[in-house]
């Protein structure tokens, strides 16, 4: 909930009020870094973990959560479409990360951990007895290379794989149009070209026959490798203390 200073400031519900407050507090942090002289030694990352919740009008107005838009992207929170998984992200490190650079390369919030470790010269402290889902993106963010080190991202809704995004192509095994809509599972996976069709409106498998079936080779390879890794290194169960892996 917003603090009293920002409660009602937007006139559009608490969701928008909190946006005002977050913006103010980010400014306070950046001002403090500048005043302390630590600005050039501090990496600042601002991002989100998912797109906005696409609530029905009744639920949204009843809760006060009015606002949030996925723009041109289809879907929202709890969907595998770009509107659910794609979020804005900004990184600032004066004199190190090129100012004003914009990219549409694939970077996951999972990558923050190994990337910050690399930037801090502490990569050796990242555990090596288990797989790390994140990828070191330090060279990409520093402008030392044109492309991200990640070419795919797997989207889970709960424990189920809804979609795999690989390069410019997206494969959906199950879809939901909004946060509270029904889940549909498809006889044939749905395939979209995100670069040419960012709104995911033209489904390739159904409209162009099996000409895009080849994408299942890299996608199933990604899923198989992930499942094998999860079987070898299972997640920690609730209440369990990790004793390490052999």
**pLDDT per residue as tens, the chain (246 positions):** 889 999 999 888 887 888 899 999 999 999 999 999 999 999 999 998 888 876 655 555 445 455 677 888 998 888 999 999 998 899 999 999 999 999 999 999 999 999 999 999 999 999 988 899 999 999 999 999 999 999 999 999 988 999 999 999 999 999 998 888 899 999 999 999 999 999 999 999 999 988 999 999 999 999 999 999 999 998 888 898 877 776
DSSP three-state, residue 229:
helix
pLDDT value of residue 1: 83
Cα end-to-end span (Å), the chain:
45
Instruction: Tokens for 46, please give them.
Output: 């601002």
Backbone Cα Rg of the chain: 21
pTM for the full model?
0.87
CA angle at 114 for the pair 228 and 33, rounded to the nearest 5°: 155
Question: Which residue in the block uniquely carries the two structure tokens 């299972």?
Answer: 234
Q: How far apart are CA 56 and CA 63, in angstroms?
A: 11
Q: How far apart are CA 177 and CA 229, in angstroms?
A: 30
Instruction: Tokens for 119, please give them.
Output: 């930037």
Q: How far apart are CA 165 and CA 147, in angstroms?
A: 16
CA angle at 76 for the pair 70 and 79, rounded to the nearest 5°: 150
* 141, 66 Cβ separation under 8 angstroms: no
Instruction: Tokens for 219, please give them.
Output: 């996608």
Domain boundaries, the chain: 107-149
């Amino acid at each position: 909930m917003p603090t009293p200073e920002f409660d009602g400031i937007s006139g559009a519900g608490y969701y928008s009020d909190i946006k005002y407050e977050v913006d103010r507090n980010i400014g306070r942090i950046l001002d403090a870094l500048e005043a302390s002289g630590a600005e050039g030694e501090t990496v600042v990352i601002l991002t989100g973990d998912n797109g906005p919740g696409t609530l029905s009008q009744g639920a949204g107005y009843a809760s006060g959560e009015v606002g949030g838009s996925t723009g041109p992207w289809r879907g929202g929170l709890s969907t595998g479409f770009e509107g659910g998984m794609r979020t804005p992200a900004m990184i600032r490190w004066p004199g190190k990360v090129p100012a004003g650079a914009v990219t549409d390369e694939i970077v996951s919030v999972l990558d923050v951990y190994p990337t910050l470790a690399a930037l801090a010269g502490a990569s050796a402290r990242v555990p090596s007895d288990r797989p790390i889902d994140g990828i070191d993106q330090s060279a990409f963010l520093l402008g030392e290379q044109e492309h991200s080190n990640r070419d795919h991202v797997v989207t889970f809704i709960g424990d189920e794989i809804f979609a795999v995004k690989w390069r410019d192509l997206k494969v959906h095994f199950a879809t939901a149009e909004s946060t509270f809509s029904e889940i549909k599972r498809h006889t044939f996976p749905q395939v979209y070209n995100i670069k040419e069709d960012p709104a995911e409106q033209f489904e390739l498998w159904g409209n162009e026959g099996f000409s895009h079936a080849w994408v299942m080779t890299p996608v199933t390879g990604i899923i198989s490798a992930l499942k094998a890794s999860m079987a070898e290194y299972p997640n920690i169960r609730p209440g369990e203390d990790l004793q390490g892996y052999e």
